[in-house]
Structure 1
Amino acid sequence: MNQIQAVTVERDEGYWTHPDLPEWDEGTPRAECIAWAAANGGDFVVIWFEADAPENLIERYFDDGDIDISDWNPVCDKVGSFLLSIHDTEDGPVALFFAPNEQEGK
């Protein structure tokens, strides 16, 4: 299996999914997702829009119903991490990053 790699991100209204990310849905067991990340040599980092975005963007999304989140630019502070997805959930937008495990000797 080829490990997942970073690719160019081209967001549509702020949303995007890595082309090599499996097509998971609400019914996908968490253990399956974690196993996929481990097989690719890393872990997931989740950043929630409501906890990360500026207040004006949060108000625009939740209060005004404007789903365009292009102005939200979440950043993962884990070394080597890259974006896997920015998608909507029942609780609002979320950014999913992949963070490679640190390799010994580096």
Structure 2
Amino acid sequence: MLTPETVNRNQDGDWTHSELLKFGGDREYIPKREWDDWCRFQGIETANRSMESELDEDHPAFMRHFDDCEPGSVGWEPEPPGPEWHMLSIHDTEDGPVVIWYREATSEVEPGND
């Protein structure tokens, strides 16, 4: 399983785990099957959240991004779904900022065995 890393967000408020950077490189899109295989290999499950679904429209981070057209997730401090979840990435997309959380997989699938 991935080892949690210290989250040091950049000037845009974005950050990505080093192992995800190695896997995805600078690709904007990873096909679902490839993503699922990588997660299974890592022994993790993920949960995605978007700024748009988590923040009210009058939140400063929401207004900065969507109203002022300043890209990034500055000012958004998303909470993990639970104590066992760790940040995998927080970054901007075509639909606005998203955060990806991960934790050790709870399914019976053996990590790295396909």
How much has 1:69 moved relative to structure 2? 2.4
Identity within the alignment, %? 32
Task: Report the TM-score when normalising by structure 1.
Answer: 0.82
- In the alignment, what sits opposite 1:42? 44
Aligned in 2, Cα 1:91/1:72: closer, same or farther, shift over 3 Å?
Answer: same
Contact 1:45 1:76 in 2 (8 A): no
How much has 1:81 moved relative to structure 2? 1.2
Contact 2:13 2:75 in 1 (8 A): yes
Which amino acid in structure 2 is aligned with residue 8 of structure 1? T
- Structure 1 gap ranges (5+): none
* Rounded Cα–Cα distance in structure 2 between residues aligned with 1:4 and 1:11: 19
Q: Give me the CA root mean square deviation.
A: 2.1
Give a deviation string over 1:26-84, Cα, whole Å, max 9, x none: 45311111111112222111010101134322122111112252210112224421111
Contact 1:53 1:74 in 2 (8 A): no
* Rounded Cα–Cα distance in structure 2 between residues aligned with 1:28 and 1:94: 15
Which amino acid in structure 1 is aligned with residue 90 of structure 2? I
May I ask how many residue pairs the two structures share in their alignment?
Answer: 102
